Amino acid sequence: MLSGKNIVLGVSGGIAAYKAVEIVSRLKKAGATVYVIMTEAAAKFVTPLTFREISGQPVVASMWDEPKQWNVEHVALASRADLFLIAPATANVIGKMANGIADDMLSTTVMATRAPVVLAPAMNTNMYLNPIVQANLHKLQSLGYHVIEPACGLLACGVEGPGRLPEPAEIADYVATILNSVQDFKGRKFIITAGGTREPIDPVRYIGNRSSGKMGYALAKMAAKRGAHVVLVSGPTELPCPPGDVRLVKIERAAEMREIVLKEYRDADVVIKAAAVADYRPQQTAEQKIKKTGDTLTLVLEKNPDILKELGQLKQRQILVGFAAETEELVANAAQKLAAKNLDMIVANDVTLPGAGFNADTNIVKILASDGKVDELPQMSKEQVASVILDKIYGLLSKKC
Ligand code: CTP
């Protein structure tokens, strides 16, 4: 699965460093050659000898061990890497990378590599949630670094929450997925919208819907995995930004979504509108909280612009994909939207079916193409549905050029 691949594993100094031994073992069993670089702090948790024995390769533990060799070595390892994994990645190493500091063997080598870099942060929960660490991680993600979300659980320091290094098997799988993924969307810009919009009634209330954002985020994740540059325009959700070249723009109102999407549209290759956009908004947003005065309350709603329809009218070379969440007449309603909005494809789902509704991890969809073809997919995970949609988009893009 990984034969012929060179993986450089950077181990930084956290208690989870011992788990990196099993990561080396798993990657090696999968056929990869693994070169380990340790920070000086990491070498206090696990000895370089352990990594040397498991990897079968010399281990670089200090920049000053072999002063004649290190410079050559760090450049050689940086360019030999097919993938650079840092596990565990401490707040310190993340901070250095995000700020261009290269003062030891690990930070100099990772700065010199052009290979995909995967970070597996592991640290105390409060450190992980510290806004500085979060900002550093977001910065690295926006630059194309992959970040594996830490697991939640009881940490060595006794605190419970996110910050635990995921299981070595999970990290090895992640690495394999990146190394084996086809980069067929390299150089392509995708705009993907996700989640539901919120239209404010007053400072504390809004009109919203039950969209979880999971479908849109799955699309963003899978498109980025295939090399796309993704602008993910998302309504409020708890979901983390998918790894890879994904720029997450958070919005609340349909009008904000429209503004971002239109701004990004001109040089986009593909737009996928998985978001559930509110069709109407309160005509007026009260400046103060509305008090309960009478037995009834009447809100006057006015129409929001149909963003997708507008994109259809402006369409030049872009591939436009819509979603249609329906409760009846699925195919007929979706076909009508496909034509009315000048789309290339529409993904229709009956939200009343179990396994297809809002917040589910699976979906059951029918994909309608502009040539009248309808594909019925069985119940699948949202990531699998995303892959099928992306394969179809790839077909459409290939026909265009
Ligand atoms: N959409 C949009 N802007 C809107 C409403 C919908 O861009 N104001 C997009 C959605 O993101 C989706 C597609 O249009 O990709 C279809 O949305 P849907 O809510 O199913 O259909 P509507 O056109 O709003 O029609 P209706 O609500 O009457 O079914």
Residues with CB under 6 A from ligand 1: 254, 273, 275, 277, 279, 304, 306-308, 322-325, 337
CA distances from 362 to 208, 218, 243, 346, 356 (A): 22, 11, 20, 18, 6
- pLDDT, position 285: 96
Residue 81 has pLDDT above 60, yes or no: yes
Q: What is the mean pLDDT of residues 367-382?
A: 92
Q: Tell me the C-alpha distance between 55 and 36, whole Å.
A: 8
Q: What is the mean pLDDT of residues 268-272?
A: 98
Q: Which of 150-154, 247-251, 281-285 has the lowest mean pLDDT?
A: 150-154
- The helix/strand/coil state of 221 is helix
What phi, psi does 334 have (nearest 5°)? -65, -40
Answer yes or no: 152 catalytic: no
From the CA of 279, give the closest atom in ligand 1.
8
If pLDDT is split at 50, 70 and 90, which confidence band does 71 have? low
Q: Which is the catalytic residue, given 152, 157, 241, 401?
A: 157
Instruction: Map out the domains of the chain as residue ranges.
Output: 6-179, 189-400
Nearest CA to ligand 1 atom 20: 324
- From the list 270, 269, 226, the residue with the least C-alpha distance to 245 is 226
The domain 6-179 is placed in CATH, from the list 3.40.50.300, 1.10.287.3510, 3.30.420.60, 3.40.50.1950, at 3.40.50.1950
Whole-structure pTM value: 0.68
From the CA of 275, give the closest atom in ligand 1.
11
Q: What is the pLDDT of residues 87-106, one digit of tens each?
A: 999 999 999 999 999 999 99
- Residue 171's contacts (CB-CB under 8 Å, 6 or more residues apart) are 23, 85, 87, 120, 148, 165
What architecture is domain 189-400?
A: 3-Layer(aba) Sandwich (3.40)
Q: What is the pLDDT of residues 290-305, one digit of tens each?
A: 999 999 999 999 999 9
Q: What is the pLDDT of residues 327-374, one digit of tens each?
A: 999 999 999 999 999 999 999 999 888 888 778 889 999 999 999 999
CA of 277 from ligand 1 middle (Å) equals 6
Q: Are 6-179 and 189-400 the same fold in CATH?
A: yes
CA of 295 from ligand 1 middle (Å) equals 33
Burial class of residue 44 (count of CB atoms within 10 Å of its CB; 0-12, 13-18, 19+): exposed
What are the contacts of 68-74 at 24+ separation with CB within 8 A? Answer: 70/105, 74/105, 74/108, 74/109, 74/112
If pLDDT is split at 50, 70 and 90, which confidence band does 65 have? low
